[in-house]
């Protein structure tokens, strides 16, 4: 039996924790009182990323995506401290979406991958068809919400979340039917008005996908879809904290608008994430350029084509630029998205508890990941 003991500070209390891991589970958690030792790192649950389109050259949305790609992404993310991730399938013809879901289902036949991948998310194709809120989603594949299509997806693989724009006719009725089938509905990439958003939430929509992005670059002061979703306490909102998608001051105010547990951070990582700067061709976004500072854009434009950093980058960004404490930043990347995972699939992630999965990260006082235990195994 493999036994690993991890020692560090509890981000919330400052107490010294000893977490004993046996094989792939937490066997014991011991507390030794508060410590002022600044050399001790903080011990945190493994990071939980609800939005990963790809990583390190592997793409969830590639036409030839295979289980090996999901395994490679799982391995690469675990090395960064992201021990739970949700493959995000974007706007495409139905057969492409169904194929990707079959691959996710097949991958989850491996216990290691099943532990890391609780379900899949489908972002689109029921999004805004207007330039701006559509982002880089393929216009030719954008279509109205189709509940029968969603049922066909679910027959192929574990669909946990579907992102829609509720501007389409009869959106509320469709959302209600999707939610009744056990799938969580998120609002995103939308130009819907306040009434449409309220009706969508009344029908059961409960998440906002990367709020503040997937929107017109210029908006009326009020009302607009950002205000409407920030004001709706029934919507838990995801935010991309990579320093490019949302300015620090904007993210700071947006986080204040959400009650405790009502916000989480995501990476929105693409296949280019973790790659060196340069020009690339991607299935989603086409020809893109990754700058030295990590901004990913379609060549010759100033818009964004997803993100190029793992969720681990969010912690030091939130601490240094948004003014959050270590505990606050950790919650946004662990327990808060872990709560979404629990509601969607029943899997418990984003917490350290006896009997729980031995996914842990050690982070320094600036939020940088300095050590990882994933599934009870130390990572480089």
Residue 2 lies in a domain: no
The residue with greater pLDDT, 309 or 260, is 309
| pLDDT score for 132 | 92
CA distances from 168 to 10, 126, 173, 193 (A): 46, 8, 11, 11
Residue 253 lies in a domain: yes
Q: What is the pLDDT of residues 218-250, one digit of tens each?
A: 999 999 999 999 999 999 999 999 999 999 999
Does 177 score more than 80 pLDDT?
A: yes
Least confident of 21-30, 131-140, 200-209, 276-285: 276-285
Residue 360 lies in a domain: no
Prediction pTM value: 0.96
Kind and range of the H or E element at 115? Answer: helix 111-116
Res. 282 pLDDT band, cuts 50 70 90: confident
| pLDDT score for 283 | 67
The residue with greater pLDDT, 185 or 281, is 185
Q: Which of 151, 42, 136 is nearest to 94 (CA)?
A: 151
Residue 60 lies in a domain: yes
| pLDDT score for 285 | 67
Q: In whole angstroms, what is the distance from residue 137 CA to residue 335 CA? A: 30
Distance of CA 16 to the CA centre of its chain: 29
Q: The domain that contains 248 carries what CATH number? A: 3.20.20.140
Provide the strand spans (E) within the chain: 3-9, 15-22, 25-34, 42-45, 47-52, 54-55, 58-59, 82-90, 120-123, 159-164, 184-187, 207-208, 236-240, 263-266, 278-282, 286-290, 296-298, 360-363, 369-374, 377-378
Supply the range of the domain harboring residue 186: 45-348
Residue 37 lies in a domain: no
Q: Cα–Cα–Cα angle for 162, 103, 164, nearest 5°? A: 10
Sheet with strand 360-363: strands edge to edge: 25-34, 15-22, 3-9, 42-45, 360-363, 369-374, 377-378
Residue 152 lies in a domain: yes
Instruction: Note whether 296 and 272 are within 8 A (CB).
Output: yes
| pLDDT score for 87 | 98
Does 45 score more than 80 pLDDT?
A: yes
Does 284 score more than 80 pLDDT?
A: no
Tokens at 203, concatenated:
């029908």
Q: What is the DSSP letter of 53?
A: S
Helix (H, G, I), strand (E, B) or coil at 89: strand
Residue 30 lies in a domain: no
CA distances from 153 to 132, 156, 157 (A): 27, 5, 7
Residue 304 lies in a domain: yes
Does 286 score more than 90 pLDDT?
A: no
| Mean pLDDT for the stretch of residues 335-339 | 98
Helix (H, G, I), strand (E, B) or coil at 141: helix
Number of domains in the chain: 1
């Amino acid at each position: 039996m493999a036994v690993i003991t991890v020692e560090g500070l509890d981000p919330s209390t400052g107490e010294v924790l000893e977490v004993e891991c046996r094989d792939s589970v937490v066997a014991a958690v011991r507390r030794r009182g508060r410590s002022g030792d600044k050399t001790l790192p903080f011990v945190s649950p493994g990071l939980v990323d609800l939005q990963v389109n790809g990583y390190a050259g592997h793409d969830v949305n590639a036409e030839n995506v295979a289980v090996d790609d999901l395994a490679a992404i799982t391995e690469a993310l675990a090395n960064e401290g992201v021990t739970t991730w949700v493959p995000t399938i974007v706007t495409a013809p139905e057969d492409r979406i169904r194929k990707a879901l079959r691959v996710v289902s097949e991958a989850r036949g491996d216990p290691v991958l099943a532990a890391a991948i609780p379900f899949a998310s489908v972002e689109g194709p029921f999004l805004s068809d207007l330039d701006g809120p559509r982002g880089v989603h393929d216009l030719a594949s954008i279509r109205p919400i189709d509940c029968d299509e969603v049922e066909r997806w679910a027959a192929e693989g574990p669909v946990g979340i579907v992102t829609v724009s509720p501007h389409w006719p009869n959106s509320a009725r469709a959302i209600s039917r999707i939610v009744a089938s056990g799938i969580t509905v998120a609002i995103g990439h939308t130009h819907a008005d306040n009434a449409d958003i309220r009706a969508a939430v009344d029908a059961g929509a409960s998440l906002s996908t990367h709020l503040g992005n997937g929107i017109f670059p210029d908006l009326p002061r009020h009302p607009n879809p950002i205000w409407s979703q920030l004001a709706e306490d029934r919507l838990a909102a995801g935010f991309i904290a990579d320093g490019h998608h949302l300015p620090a001051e904007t993210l700071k105010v947006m986080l204040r608008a959400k009650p405790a547990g009502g916000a989480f951070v995501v990476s929105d990582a693409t296949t280019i994430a973790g790659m060196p700067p340069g020009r690339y061709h991607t299935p989603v976004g086409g020809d893109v350029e990754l700058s030295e500072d990590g901004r990913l854009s379609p060549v010759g434009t100033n818009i964004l084509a997803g993100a190029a950093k793992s969720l681990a980058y969010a912690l030091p960004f939130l601490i240094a630029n948004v003014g959050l404490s270590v505990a606050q930043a950790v919650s946004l990347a662990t327990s808060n998205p872990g709560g979404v995972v629990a509601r969607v699939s029943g899997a418990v992630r984003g917490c350290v508890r006896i009997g729980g999965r031995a996914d842990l990260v050690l982070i320094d006082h600036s939020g940088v990941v300095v050590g990882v235990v994933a599934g009870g195994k130390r990572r480089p």
